[in-house]
Amino acid sequence: MLPAKGWMALRRLGWTAPAPAGVYVSDRVRRCAQEEAARALRLGVYRREVLQAIVATWPADGRRADADWQALRDLLPAGVTNAVIVNRTRQVRAYQHAEGRLPADLPDLEAPPAVAAQVLLAAADRQLTTIGRDGPGRAVLRVQLPLTARPGSPADWAWHALPLTLPAHVADHARLCAPTLRIARHRVRVDLPHRVPVTPAPARGHRVALGLDWGVNTLLTGTVGRLTDTGRVVTDGRMLRYDATAVSARLHRLRQHREHLAARRDRHTALAAGLPDSDARAGHLTVLAARATTEHEHVCARIRHLNKSLAWSAARWAVDQAVALHAGVVYVEDLATLAARGRRKGNARLSGQVRGQVVDALVHLAAKAGIAVVTVPARGTSRYCPRCGQGHTELAHTPAPDRPGERGWKWAICGRCRLNLDRDHAAAMRITARGLLAQHHVRTDRTTGRHTITTVVEGDVATVRRPTTHPTTRHTREPTRPAKSGPTRKRPPTSAGKLSHRAPDRRTAPAPPASTGGQRPAGQAPKNHHPRVAASGPAHDHLKLRHHRTGFHHVRATPVITLTGDYGPGTTRPRHHPKRLTPSGKHR
């Protein structure tokens, strides 16, 4: 049994490399290098075990039966998800189609791993690095760094103090951990982890939940549900939407540009490879290929940054909605194994979704707020009606509510209970019901701590009204003058010579003659007496700002409104009883 620390495992196995001759490297610095190598080897061993299990149980016709799945599960390591199995199976099938045989080992499918230029200070101790706070929002990292390119003795190493500015999301009570130093664009970046004590949220026993459904343009569509004392699921019918259509369109354009640059790079490389070195065109094609490669890397970086910002923005919106609605759990459908089977446009949009990043950010932010995140099965959430049939009544999907006879995608209509609402909203109701009714089937992964529901429990969702938070009172306007008690007296007539203080609509003086520098038309009086002057700078600086430039100003999301979670049947809301009629004496 090898130890958990990678550098210690390599030393126990004897897989260490000595320092170059004439170069002094301390033991703590060697730990950081050995930890980096151990992590790469550990990842390779894991991928190799998965590949060997898939190849050993590969079916003859390419389709796995129940017995094949059971044999594969017995050989796989613990904790392997369905997404990993599907991706590796697709990779093996592509290799078999190209080479005509199954891969023998991992190097047949993957190139040698690229080790990042970084220093894992977490493998060292206080003899190499220390970190501490230096005031509000500031920290100081002290680390031993070499003074020369080839240090020959301990005297060539010295302590360096690196001041750090902590981001706003790092709390004051957070404990700073050993960071990782890496080089990005000729600058040293510090990846600073921190720990905040939180109480883990329970995965069961919830009464109010928030269900979220994935979409293509509308990234998230949610609804709140409540589990009553009788085991029914009720909702207030309010749809929560995080519409990132503009951002998704921007990402789609960037992906098209990336594919175009990749095609140009490959084409120039192929043309240059077919020419001799003495040909002048080969050098020109090499320059064009290098330029396309650089542009391709820049576009990929823009896509990564935009995807990351979109994922964290959507996760923050979902957590804020859950906190405002007093929900203790968020249910999300599991689409890790989703494979697009449409045409080119649909495949491109579905493959570029950031669902994995959104789930990771959602789990992180929900843990800080004391909210659990549970994934539920996704099959049939948009197909069946959430109001009737116990999950067995199919919906008719149309393009719009006023076009019921056409086949579409956006709108859902039930022919049994006359349900007529958005398709994603109906799916969010079904997800909420599956999560609340199957709380006893929640499984928790020991390694990652993720909560998952694998058993489908169907149930109908009823729509109820929320109680009014404040009693409605009628505000009467106070009289500004005494009530009229008689006829109105005759008023004196207005004098004809009274001047009006209202500015004239047109000039009272005629227009000046044309000989004095141009005739000015006698139009309306000018309302702006400030002459326009020449301005410098970009044109967009002088445009009228129609929105606040904070976050994603092109995202349309449902505002966060704090509402009580106590609604529906079985609540303690006050009920108004009708007044009892008292019989009069004449009818006695």
Domain ranges of the chain: 6-108, 119-195, 208-256+293-463
At residue 427, does pLDDT exceed 80?
yes
Distance CA 105, CA 38 (A): 20
Residue located via tokens 């002290």 = 142
Q: Which helix (H) or strand (E) holds 421?
A: strand 420-422
Please, are residues 453 and 435 in contact by the beta-carbon 8 Å criterion?
A: yes
Question: Exposed, middle or buried by CB within 10 Å (0-12, 13-18, 19+), for 222?
Answer: buried
Residue 33 is predicted with a pLDDT of: 93
| Predicted pLDDT at 485 | 76
Cβ proximity of 428 and 422 under 8 Å: no
Pairing of strands 461-463, 233-235: parallel
Which pLDDT value is given to residue 536? 39
For the stretch 169-222, pLDDT in tens is: 899 999 999 999 998 878 889 999 999 998 889 999 999 999 999 987 789 999
Task: Give the pLDDT of residue 502.
Answer: 58
Cα distance between residue 321 and residue 561, in whole Å:
8
Sequence length of the chain is 588
d(CA 384, CA 397) in angstroms, rounded, equals: 11
Give yes or no for a contact between 415 and 454, defined as CB atoms under 8 angstroms apart: no
pLDDT tier at 106, thresholds 50, 70, 90: very high
Q: How confident is the model at residue 547 (pLDDT cuts 50, 70, 90)?
A: very low
Q: Cβ of 578: how many Cβ atoms within 10 Å?
A: 5
Token output for 588: 């006695």
Q: What is the CA radius of gyration of the chain?
A: 34
Q: What pLDDT digit, counting tens, does each position of 306-359 carry?
A: 999 999 999 999 999 999 999 999 999 988 766 666 555 655 555 556 888 999
Amino acid 586: pLDDT: 45
Sheet of 118-120, strand order: 118-120, 180-184, 187-191
Q: Could you give the maximum distance between any two Cα atoms of the chain, in Å?
A: 122
Which one is predicted more confidently, 415 or 262? 262
**Which residue, chain included where needed, has tokens 């003659």?**
513
Rounded to whole angstroms, the Cα distance separating 399 from 404 reads: 8
- Per the CB < 8 A criterion, the answer to whether 222 and 321 are in contact is yes
Cα separation, 310 vs 557, in Å, equals 12
Residues sharing a CB contact under 8 Å with residue 524, sequence separation 6 or more, in sequence order: 505, 506
**Per DSSP, what are the bridge partners of residue 144?**
159
pLDDT in tens, 264-314: 999 999 999 989 888 889 999 999 999 999 999 999 999 999 999 999 999
- Cα distance between residue 128 and residue 26, in whole Å: 9
pLDDT above 70: residue 244: yes
How do 129-133 and 118-120 pair as beta strands? unpaired
Look at residue 548 in the predicted model and tell me its pLDDT. 45
Q: What pLDDT score was predicted for residue 550?
A: 42
Report pLDDT digits (tens) over 365-410: 999 999 999 999 988 898 999 999 888 899 999 998 888 888 888 8
Q: What is the pLDDT of residue 356?
A: 87
Q: What is the pLDDT of residues 490-521, one digit of tens each?
A: 777 765 555 555 555 555 556 666 555 555 55
Q: For residue 573, what pLDDT band results from cuts at 50, 70 and 90? A: very low
Number of Cβ within 10 Å of residue 557's Cβ equals 20
| Per-residue pLDDT, 538 | 40
Instruction: Say which amino acid occupies 288.
Output: L
SS3 string of 353-385? CCHHHHHHHHHHHHHHCCCEEEEECCCCCCCEC
What is the strand order of the sheet 129-133 is part of? 129-133, 138-146, 157-165
DSSP 12-26: HHT---PPPTT----
Which of 206, 210, 259, 218 minimizes the C-alpha distance to 236? 210
pLDDT class of 524 with cuts at 50, 70, 90: low
Name the pTM for this structure. 0.77
Virtual torsion, Cα 315, 317, 323, 326, nearest 10 deg: -100
Structural tokens at position 248? 């998704």
- Mean pLDDT score, 467-488: 67
Tokens representing 226 are: 């409540």
Over 80: is that where the pLDDT of 416 sits?
yes
Helices 245-273 & 344-351 angle (0-180, nearest 10): 100
Q: What is the pLDDT of residue 317?
A: 95
Amino acid at 430: R
pLDDT band at 540 (very low <50, low <70, confident <90, very high): very low
pLDDT of residue 324: 95
Residues 6+ apart with CB under 8 A from 259: none
Question: Which residue blocks in 15-123 are alpha helix, DSSP H?
Answer: 27-56, 66-75, 82-99
Residue 70 pLDDT exceeds 50: yes
